Homo-oligomer: A and B are copies of this chain.
Amino acid sequence: MTPVQVSGRAERLLASLDERGLDQMIVSDRSNIRWLTGFSGSAGVLIVSARGHVLISDGRYTDQAQDQLEMSGAADVAVVTARTAAERNNAVSVSTSGRPLGAEALVMPHSEWSSLSAHAELVATDGLLSQLRRRKDESEIGLITTAADIATAAMSEVAPMLVAGVSEREIRDELEYRMRRLGADGPSYETIVASGPTNAALPHARPTSRQLVEGDTVVIDVGALVAGYHSDMTRTFVVGEPSDEQQRWYDLVFASQAEGLDAVIEGARVSDIDRACRAVFEDAGLADLFVHGTGHGVGLDIHEEPFLGSSGDAELVAGDVVTVEPGLYRVGTGGIRIEDLVVVTSDGHRNLTAYPKDNPCPPSPQMT
Contacts and interface: CB of A to CB of B under 8 A. Distances in A.
Contacts of A110: 103, 105, 108-110, 112-114, 124
A300 to B, nearest CB: 17
A18 B280 CA distance: 57
Nearest to A181: B173
Interface string A100-117: 000101111111111000
Contact of A173 (B105, B180, B204): B180
A126 B111 contact: yes
B109 A106 contact: yes
Contact of A177 (B105, B108, B177): B177
A169 B181 CA distance: 9
Number of copies: 2
Interface in A157-183: 169, 172-173, 176-177, 180-181
A30 to B, nearest CB: 14
A60 interface: yes
Given A173-B180, A177-B177, A180-B173, A107 B109 contact: yes
Contacts of A106: 109, 111
Interface string A193-214: 0000000000010000000000
Contacts of A126: 111
A114 B108 CA distance: 12
A289 to B, nearest CB: 15
A264 B102 CA distance: 47
Nearest to A61: B204
Contacts of A124: 110-111
Contacts of A113: 110, 113
A204 B107 CA distance: 25
Contacts of A111: 105-106, 124, 126
A111 B124 CA distance: 9
Interface string A17-54: 00000000000000000000000000000000000000
Contacts of A177: 173, 176-177
A107 B181 CA distance: 36
Nearest to A85: B106
A141 B169 CA distance: 25
Contacts of A169: 180
A114 B105 contact: yes
A169 B180 CA distance: 9
A276 to B, nearest CB: 24
Contacts of A105: 109-111, 114
Contacts of A103: 110
Interface in A78-121: 103, 105-114
Interface of A: 60, 103, 105-114, 124, 126, 169, 172-173, 176-177, 180-181, 204
Given A105-B109, A177-B177, 17 more contacts: A103-B110, A106-B111, A107-B109, A108-B110, A109-B109, A110-B110, A110-B113, A110-B114, A110-B124, A111-B124, A111-B126, A172-B180, A173-B177, A173-B180, A173-B181, A176-B176, A176-B180
16 contacts: A60-B204, A103-B110, A105-B111, A105-B114, A106-B109, A108-B110, A109-B109, A109-B110, A110-B124, A169-B180, A172-B180, A173-B181, A176-B176, A176-B177, A176-B180, A177-B177
The 8 closest A-B pairs by CB, nearest first: A110-B113, A105-B111, A177-B177, A173-B180, A105-B110, A110-B110, A106-B111, A108-B110
